[in-house]
């Protein structure tokens, strides 16, 4: 009997361990797939607002940031020599420049970002690619792209491009360390595909999996399963250790002369229900950032690559 009990206990422990491992989060790791593209991580001063020393220092900072992120990073500075007839033209320029630098003929959406500091129309744009679409999210309730651009706007208005790029790189690292927002995904209306993170990779599908966005339900189901196993083990132990010698009638366990029962009744005079509104709006206050997940948006570049990102007027 003890051998059977030991087998049951070992089996229960294994099942509990398996369930716990299924509920553990998976670490995130993005990779620069093509080493020959790493030297392209730098600032491209088309307008010519930086001196040689500034450019060299910024290039080193960008390359260090790229290495820490394991993503490609580049910055374009353009002025009157680069004309745009609309904000969407700036978006297309950013996407195409990223594809030219980091998506050349590989037919793979690499992980990275490219920032356009636009002194032509004062509409700056940050394009994201690959897993960067989720790290630098653009959902309405957690628009990290917008916050990054908003933070560097005062420096750009003052013509301080050097510090703006340093702050940009620092914020890339900050959001990377915070991780991908919970339940983050993007939808591309051109390809009609959803992109989401699963098992260390960015996945695309025609629709989100049935389990996506249901971590609490999955956790509840796993906890209930583990609880049932533990309860079964306890029941087996008790049945093996004790034998029931009395019936289950409550009168068998009551000593009549010393037992009294009391009945208490509650009488309600009136019934009243109150409701209080709880403000659940998310936003930025006191220097903080929202961290809720939700639906972001992406689009296809002229080269057919999927990009996220967004723009900001100065």
Mean pLDDT is lowest, of 34-38, 144-148, 280-284, for 280-284
Q: Could you tell me the two tokens for 2?
A: 């003890």
Q: What is the mean pLDDT of the chain?
A: 80
Q: Which tens digit of pLDDT belongs to each residue from 155-207?
A: 999 999 999 999 999 999 999 999 999 899 999 999 999 999 988 889 999 99
Q: Which tens digit of pLDDT belongs to each residue from 230-267?
A: 777 877 777 766 555 555 555 655 555 555 655 555 55
Q: What CA–CA distance (Å, rounded) separates 44 from 78?
A: 9
Give me the long-range contacts of 240-244 (CB less than 8 A, separation at least 24).
240/1, 240/5
pLDDT surpasses 80 at 68: yes
Asked whether the beta carbons of 117 and 162 are under 8 A apart, the reply is: no
More confident of the two residues 215 and 160: 160
Q: Coil, strand or helix: which one is 1?
A: coil
What is the four-CA torsion angle of 296, 301, 305, 307, rounded to 10 degrees? -20
Q: Could you tell me the two tokens for 303?
A: 């080269």
Asked whether the beta carbons of 140 and 294 are under 8 A apart, the reply is: yes
SS3 assignment for 272-288 = CCCCCCCCCCCCCCCCC
Asked whether the beta carbons of 184 and 175 are under 8 A apart, the reply is: no
Q: Tell me how many degrees the CA angle 101-102-105 measures, rounded to the nearest 5.
A: 95
More confident of the two residues 24 and 229: 229
Mean pLDDT is lowest, of 26-30, 39-43, 59-63, 211-215, for 26-30
**Residue 275, pLDDT score:** 37
Residue 296: which of 208, 164, 230 has the closest Cα?
208
Task: State the CATH architecture for 35-207+294-313.
Answer: Roll (3.10)
Average pLDDT over every residue of 263-272: 52
**Residue 233, pLDDT score:** 80
């Amino acid at each position: 009997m003890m051998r059977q009990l030991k087998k049951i206990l070992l089996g229960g422990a294994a099942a509990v361990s398996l369930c716990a491992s299924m509920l553990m989060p998976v670490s995130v790791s993005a990779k620069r797939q093509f080493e020959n593209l790493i030297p392209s991580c730098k600032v491209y001063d088309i307008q010519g607002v930086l001196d040689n020393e500034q450019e060299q220092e910024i290039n080193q900072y960008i390359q260090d940031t790229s290495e820490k992120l394991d993503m490609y990073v580049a910055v374009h500075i353009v002025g009157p020599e680069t004309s745009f007839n609309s904000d969407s033209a700036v978006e297309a320029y950013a996407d195409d420049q990223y594809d030219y630098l980091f998506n050349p003929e590989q037919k793979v959406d690499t992980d990275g970002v490219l920032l356009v500091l636009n002194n032509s129309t004062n509409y700056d744009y940050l394009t994201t690619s690959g897993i960067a679409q989720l790290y630098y999210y653009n959902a309405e309730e957690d628009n990290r792209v917008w916050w990054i651009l908003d933070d560097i706007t005062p420096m750009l208005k003052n013509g301080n491009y050097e510090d703006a790029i340093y702050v940009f790189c620092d914020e890339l690292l900050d959001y990377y360390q915070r991780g991908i927002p919970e339940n983050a995904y993007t939808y591309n209306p051109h390809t009609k595909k959803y992109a989401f993170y699963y098992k260390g990779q960015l996945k695309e599908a025609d629709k989100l999996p049935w389990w996506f966005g249901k971590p609490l339900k999955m956790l509840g189901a796993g906890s209930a399963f583990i609880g049932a196993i533990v309860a079964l083990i306890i029941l087996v132990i008790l049945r093996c250790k004790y034998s029931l010698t009395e019936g289950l009638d409550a009168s068998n366990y009551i000593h009549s002369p010393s037992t009294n029962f009391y009945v208490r009744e509650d009488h309600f005079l009136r019934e009243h229900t109150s409701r209080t509104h709880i403000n659940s709006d998310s936003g930025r206050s006191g220097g903080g950032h929202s961290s809720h997940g939700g639906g972001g948006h992406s689009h296809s570049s002229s080269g057919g690559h999927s990009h996220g990102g967004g723009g900001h007027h100065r």
